Chain A
Amino acid sequence: MVSRRVSRRRFVATTAALSAVGVAAPFVRGASAAGKLTVGFWDHWVPGANGATEKAVKEWAEKEKVEVQIDFITSQGNKLLLTIAAEAQAKTGHDILAMNTFLPAQYSEQLATVDSEMDQLIKNNGKVNATVEYLGKVGGKWLAVPATTGTQFKGPCSRIDFMKQYAGLDVQAMYPAGAEPQDKDWTYDTFLKAAEACHKGGHPFGIGLGTTSDNVDTIGAVFHGYGAVLVDAKGTPTVKTDAVRQALEYYKKLMQWLPPDVAAWDDASNNKFLVSGQASLIMNPPSAWAVAKRDAPKVAENCWTHGMPAGPKGRFGPFLPFFWGIWNFSKNIPAAKSLVMHLSTQPVVESMVVASGGYDLPSFENFTKFKVWAEEGPPKGTLFHYPDPYHHQTLSVACAPAPHKIAEQMYNQGIMTQMAVRFFQGEPLEKTLTWAEGEIEGFMRN
């Protein structure tokens, strides 16, 4: 074997030459110089709505030189929920995942905090409502950024013709497109009278009382309207209160004017009820109207989305926010934070809202007056009041302000709708309250 001895002079000369080449060469950045990122977004109901998200991510990826893989994960069949649970157990998977309502709190110990990002976003985009803060901020720390896609308001969508014909209410005059709501007389009493009138007219209100999200969100808002909470912010059960009794009495009166099988309704039932032409009113984001626009245009032309009636303690609307959470086991947290910041900029948010036909509802105060809500139709302006542009309502989530670990179980097991059904089916009120108290007691273990 021949060995070649390198002299000191030769070594110095070679090193110097290599250094010169290195310094003089232009800075070459690879296509994925800043690493990789995988994102699991919620798969939108609205056809084509994923496109806006995909486009925004692509723009950001090209600019930041990050290789991004996007998965749109459906919430049908709980696929998104199962993905989140599996990734949390395995401590591997996507870097960013879409999570709704109580999920950021449920996985609080596995999410990266986004305090400085939220401070910046609130500064840029305006405040977020108390519900977003309650769900996204745990122990004084922001755990996730409110997402535009998927966030929705589940207020009333009324049939203009039936409400006029049977209840004598002109919902377009109450909620005029482009102007402030004239909702002074739109109260729980008016709502009940209208439910009775429409039922007698053969077109009842379609409000579900199953244990799925749409049903729970509606009763949650009505409970808030009575100031009825089952567990307070400190975690103390407050089931046996007059406010809870009043809310249940009200629901009992309302249920007699609803279709007989509402206890079996899921999240699709109210949509089908509207599209079938049977409903005078349902509680839903504009997806039901969008389906009607496609499948039953005559129904869609008569739909008007508007605000909730007011209860004795205020006007509360059912609000269901989605978030983008970043796992703390993500290998590229800085890039993930940069992406969610980009997705929360005004042009991107507006593009998402437009792509969803007005369905997506940004959580920031300055983003409630986009043109799309004024222009969508038919009838034109039907979605104008969907984002509550004049802030007439308190956007709320059922089971708040209970501590998250209790609230999420009350919410997912539909304790409030179960109470309403039990009471309506003839169970004495105090027995129903005792049952609920027992269930809630079971949710308090650590």
Chain B
Amino acid sequence: MADIAAPQSAIASRHGRSSLHKLMQRKSTTAFLMALPLILMIFILVAYPAGYAIWLATLNKSMTKFVGLGNFDFMFKRPTFWEIVFQSCLFAITAVIFKAMIGFIVAHFVNNIPTKGQRKWRGMLLVPWVIPAAMSTLSWLWLFDPSYSAFNWLFAQLGLGRISWLGEAGWARFSVILVNVWIGAPFFLIMYLAALKSVPEQLYEAASIDGATWWQRIWFVTLPMMRNIIAITILFSTIVTFANFDIVRVLTAGGPLTATHVFATWAFKVGIESGDIPLGATVSLFMVPILAVAATFILRDISKRGSEV
């Protein structure tokens, strides 16, 4: 019995080794192992905090009792919360539209500059995006400052009246959106420029031969060829703009009154400054379904077009 058992175990062991060997030789295994550090990092830095935020959002104010969706129920009844929803949407949608438009227009200008001088323009136009947002926002704060506004000084030199940039709700919202556009437009610019360079020149030549105007060339050639990159940049920028914290925090801290608060700053105000961490977590989680729905539609559209191609 023992004589028979020994070769069987040897076969089993050889078999085990060979299947492990096969597993290790698979490309997918190698890819998984190479991606493992990143997966772990995402789990530690993204999945765990997200799960913890969901857990916090289900607790009562003193974090002693499970309340399920009670915090959401409470929040939906607060008028201030709906004000924040409106402002966040206004802030994100307006800023993304302007960033996309400016990025698109400037990308065309830069694309038309001869290759030799293009690099320095690209570099200069990227500066607002490269500087840390909190730092550049501080510079903007000095330009808008209630006591020392450089813009107001300029207006005074021109004999114009002073504007309360950060003291009036409308102007404060305008200022926040302006700074966001200034910081974010170069991202669109560089993405659109890359997309423009990948459009085959023959398509434009063919369109010219057919007598297409510049507008028709943009509408029927450029835009369809850039559709995917436009969708992805808009999705990415919408997510980042919705979740923005630093610009509002540095520039207005949500004021005057609550006129410029967005989800992230309001979550900080309620959760950390006012000591209601579960409600703060609830506010910050509110944007997840909105962005998830937007991401689903945009990504589905992109993959649909990909499969059509």
Contacts and interface: CB of A to CB of B under 8 A. Distances in A.
A266 B74 CA distance: 30
A81 B60 contact: no
A332 interface: no
B166 interface: yes
A237 interface: no
B257 interface: yes
B272 A82 contact: yes
B272 A81 contact: yes
Contacts of A262: 146, 167
Interface in A391-423: 405, 408-409, 412-413, 418, 421-422
A79 to B, nearest CB: 11
Q: Is the interface of A mostly helix, strand, loop or mixed?
A: helix
B37 interface: no
Contact of B269 (A259, A405, A412, A438): A412
Contacts of B60: 445-446
A409 B274 contact: yes
A446 B61 contact: yes
Contact size range, A:
35 or more
B277 to A, nearest CB: 7
Contacts of B274: 408-409, 412-413
Contact of B256 (A81, A259, A421, A445): A421
B257 A413 contact: no
Given A212-B253, A442-B78, A269 B167 contact: no
A173 interface: no
B79 interface: yes
B150 to A, nearest CB: 14
Contacts of B62: 446
Contact of B147 (A78, A272, A442): A272
Contacts of B74: 442, 445
Contact of A210 (B164, B253, B272, B273): B253
Interface residues of B, number: 32
A102 interface: yes
A261 B167 contact: yes
B148 interface: yes
A106 interface: yes
Contact of B255 (A78, A211, A276, A278): A211
Contacts of A263: 167-168, 255-257
Interface in A79-93: 81-82, 85, 89
Given A81-B272, A106-B275, A405-B275, A265 B254 contact: no
Contacts of B145: 272
A421 B254 CA distance: 14
Contact of B166 (A102, A261, A446): A261
A121 B57 CA distance: 41
A260 B255 CA distance: 14
B247 interface: no
Interface in B64-102: 74, 78-80
A440 to B, nearest CB: 12
B183 interface: no
A273 interface: yes
B167 A260 contact: yes
Given A81-B273, A85-B277, A102-B275, A266 B253 contact: yes
B137 interface: no
B277 A259 contact: no
Contact of B253 (A81, A211, A273, A439): A211
A445 B61 contact: yes
A211 B254 contact: yes
Contacts of B277: 85, 89
B146 A261 contact: yes
Contacts of A78: 272-273
Nearest to B75: A442
Interface string A161-182: 0000000000000000000000
A122 interface: no
A102 B273 CA distance: 10
A89 B74 CA distance: 24
A87 B273 CA distance: 15
Contacts of A266: 253
A238 to B, nearest CB: 21
Interface string B254-274: 111110000000000110111
Interface in A240-283: 259-266, 269, 272-273, 276, 278
A86 to B, nearest CB: 10
Interface string A201-239: 000000000111000000000000000000000000000
B272 A264 contact: no
Contacts of A413: 269-270, 274
Interface in B228-261: 252-258
Interface of B: 60-62, 74, 78-80, 145-148, 164-168, 172, 252-258, 269-270, 272-277
Given A89-B277, A269-B146, 9 more contacts: A81-B272, A210-B255, A210-B256, A259-B147, A264-B166, A413-B269, A413-B274, A421-B257, A442-B80
9 contacts: A102-B275, A106-B275, A259-B146, A263-B257, A264-B167, A405-B61, A412-B274, A422-B257, A446-B62
Interface of A: 78, 81-82, 85, 89, 102, 106, 210-212, 259-266, 269, 272-273, 276, 278, 405, 408-409, 412-413, 418, 421-422, 438-439, 442, 445-446
Q: Which 6 A-B pairs have the closest CB atoms?
A: A261-B167, A263-B256, A264-B166, A261-B146, A264-B167, A412-B274
